[in-house]
Structure 1
Amino acid sequence: MTTAERAGSRIWPSLLRALAVVVALDGLAQAVFAGRLLAGSYDGLDSHMLNGIVLAVGILTETIAFAVAWRFGGGAARPVLIGLGLIALTAIQMTTGTRSIVAVHVPVGVLLIGGLLGQVGQTWREPAGARA
């Protein structure tokens, strides 16, 4: 193994862990914005809608990074599968949110936050750059 390969194998886990934590924190912020909206602050709606787009981009970026690590960096496949599930939940969230279907939007949001936190746990349990 060359020096560059060793450095790359050390960078992937740290990069993916940091990315998973940042996206999960953004997901928690999204829940705070939703809480503000449900408490009657319509300013929370703008924050919730804007951050929803940011969160969707973050989840897509995170999933792509896990896929690249899996394919080229020797990472595990499980985080990619979790990421694909999160993308599906995000699509449901965006659809039900724009159509104001709160009875579906809120429970799916809880699942999404749980999945994001599960993704963080997965990256810390299993080295993100190590072959499973």
Structure 2
Amino acid sequence: MATEVTTEATATENARRGSAFLQTAIVLQTLTIFLQAVSAGLLLTSSYGETLHSVGARVMYGASMLYALAAVLAWKPGGGSPRPVRHASGFLVLASVQVVLGIAHVPSVHLPLGVLMFGLSVLALARR
């Protein structure tokens, strides 16, 4: 009986931690995408904008990978819904396309995709 209560308490604590990690990852991802928009503006107006945008792209991609990891950890060990895993995986695909388009210098698709990604990230943040 005591073991069941302890197991349930541990599962609840793991789910809460997984959810908090997922929330933090979404916040970080949203913030990095917003900072990418700021650095894109600096890219057009200053000499250091290109460096900032390039570094920011790597940080944003890392934040997208962290979001995917957090979604898996909230789902599998925490017993949560698999829906955030699908969202995070889709977002990682969009981030990959965004990086490729940025490297290829295709701003006609790169910029609208960045706006879409920011909107989707804010939506994911609002759902949590």
Distance 2:88 2:79 in 1: 17
Gaps of 5+ in 1: 125-132
Q: Which amino acid aligns with 2:10?
A: A
Where has structure 1 moved over 4 Å in runs of 4 or more?
none
Question: Which of the two has higher C-alpha Rg?
Answer: 2
Distance 2:17 2:69 in 1: 16
Against the structure 1 CA distance between its residues 99 and 42, is the aligned structure 2 distance closer, same or farther, given a 3 Å change threshold? farther
Match of 2:15? 9
- RMSD of aligned C-alpha atoms? 1.4
TM-score after normalising by structure 2: 0.86
Distance 1:36 1:95 in 2: 20
Instruction: Kindly indicate whether the alpha-carbon contact (under 8 Å) linking 1:37 and 1:44 is maintained by their aligned counterparts in 2.
Output: yes
Match of 1:91? 96
Give the secondary-structure state (helix, strand or coil) at the position aligned to 1:54: helix
- Give the number of aligned pairs: 122
State the identity %.
Answer: 30
TM-score after normalising by structure 1: 0.84
Distance 2:120 2:85 in 1: 12
Instruction: Kindly indicate whether the alpha-carbon contact (under 8 Å) linking 2:15 and 2:78 is maintained by their aligned counterparts in 1.
Output: yes
- Higher relative contact order, structure no. (Cα contacts within 8 Å, ≥ 6 residues apart): 1
Instruction: Kindly indicate whether the alpha-carbon contact (under 8 Å) linking 1:20 and 1:119 is maintained by their aligned counterparts in 2.
Output: yes
Distance 1:22 1:87 in 2: 14
Give the secondary-structure state (helix, strand or coil) at the position aligned to 2:76: helix
- Residues 72-127 of structure 1 show CA distances to partners (whole Å, capped at 9, x for unaligned) of 211122211111111111111111111111101101111111121122122x2xxx
Distance 2:125 2:11 in 1: 25
